[in-house]
Each structure stands twice: as structure tokens, then as C-alpha cells.
């Protein structure tokens, strides 16, 4: 990605999304996409306020526009599974490396490919629980096969 302009450096939405996507390791993100999303979020906020929305409501609407399609990352879900299911076996310091390694494995890719993790209510659904169970089993197999 190129260096941000001065306007982008001052844009809450641009900086928030750039940090969010980097923190949760979303792939295939371009600077142009971040700029476009930030502009959409700003427009959403301004339109909501013009139409009588309170500040908090307008902010909520703009954040929904900003993060649409980027609710959950494979990395974030993997980190949660490693912490909750393998916390006694994989140290806190090693989890980011293990999450990245496991996501790169075709067995794990196949599991994630079976689910729409960007669906609005995915994390609150039974499908999310099913994904976690599948990931836990797949991770156990990989760790055993790799002698870890």
C-alpha cells in the first residue's frame, strides 16, 4: 500500500479500517478499497445526521457501512479457537504464529471454505459452533500429524 495522504491521516474511518484489517489480517485488501470504504462511511454519517439521526445512531450506521463484509477474519476465529480450546497446550506468545501456520494448511482452508463467516449473524449462530468444532478437530489432527 502507498503512503496515506494528509487527509487520510486525519480520517477516523480510514485509520480505523486500516488498523482493523491489519490487526485481524484480512487478505487482499487494497489502499483504494480502504479509501472508498472510508468515504462511504463518512457519507453515511453525514446523510444520517442530515436526516435527523442522533450522533450515536449515525456513528453506528457509518461503522456498519465501513465494516460491511469484514466482520470476522479467519485469523480472528483461529485465534479464538486456539485460546479457548488449546490454551493449555499453545502458549499465548506462540498463538499468532500457530494461527498463521494453521490457516495456511489446506485442511483448514477447506473447513473455512465451507462457511460464510461474513454473514451478519454468523457468530451468534449454530453454524459458528459447528465451524469451531470442525476447526478444533482439524487442528488436533494437524498437531498430532506434525508431532506438536
What pLDDT does residue 133 have? 94
- Positive or negative, the CA dihedral 107, 136, 28, 91 is negative
What pLDDT does residue 4 have? 53
Closest alpha carbon to 125 in 116, 137, 136: 116
Decide if pLDDT at 8 tops 60: no
What pLDDT does residue 49 have? 92
What pLDDT does residue 63 have? 87
- Label residue 2 exposed, middle or buried (CB < 10 Å: 0-12, 13-18, 19+): exposed
- Label residue 136 exposed, middle or buried (CB < 10 Å: 0-12, 13-18, 19+): middle
Summarised one tens digit per residue, pLDDT across range 79-126 is 999 999 999 989 999 999 999 999 999 999 999 999 888 776 777 778
DSSP 123: G
d(CA 50, CA 67): 22
How much is the pTM? 0.68
Over residues 134-142, mean pLDDT: 95
Answer yes or no: are the C-beta atoms of 122 and 71 closer than 8 Å.
yes
What pLDDT does residue 12 have? 87
What pLDDT does residue 9 have? 55
Average pLDDT, the chain: 86
Summarised one tens digit per residue, pLDDT across range 16-75 is 888 888 877 777 778 888 999 899 999 999 999 999 999 999 988 898 888 877 777 888
What pLDDT does residue 16 have? 87
Q: What are phi and psi of 143, to 5 degrees?
A: -65, -40
Amino acid at each position: 500500500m502507498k503512503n496515506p495522504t494528509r487527509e487520510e491521516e486525519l480520517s477516523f474511518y480510514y485509520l480505523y479500517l486500516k488498523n482493523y484489517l491489519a490487526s485481524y489480517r484480512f487478505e487482499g485488501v487494497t489502499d483504494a478499497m480502504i479509501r472508498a470504504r472510508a468515504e462511504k462511511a463518512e457519507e453515511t454519517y453525514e446523510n444520517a445526521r442530515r436526516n435527523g439521526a442522533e450522533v450515536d445512531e449515525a456513528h453506528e450506521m457509518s461503522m456498519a457501512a465501513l465494516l460491511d463484509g469484514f466482520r470476522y477474519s479467519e485469523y480472528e476465529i483461529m485465534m479464538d479457537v486456539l485460546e479457548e480450546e488449546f490454551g493449555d497446550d499453545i502458549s499465548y506468545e506462540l498463538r499468532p504464529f500457530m494461527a498463521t501456520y494453521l490457516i495456511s494448511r489446506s485442511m483448514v482452508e477447506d473447513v473455512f471454505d465451507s462457511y460464510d463467516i461474513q454473514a451478519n449473524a454468523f457468530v451468534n449462530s449454530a453454524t459458528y459452533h459447528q465451524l469451531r468444532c470442525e476447526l478444533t478437530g482439524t487442528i488436533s489432527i494437524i498437531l498430532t500429524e506434525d508431532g506438536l
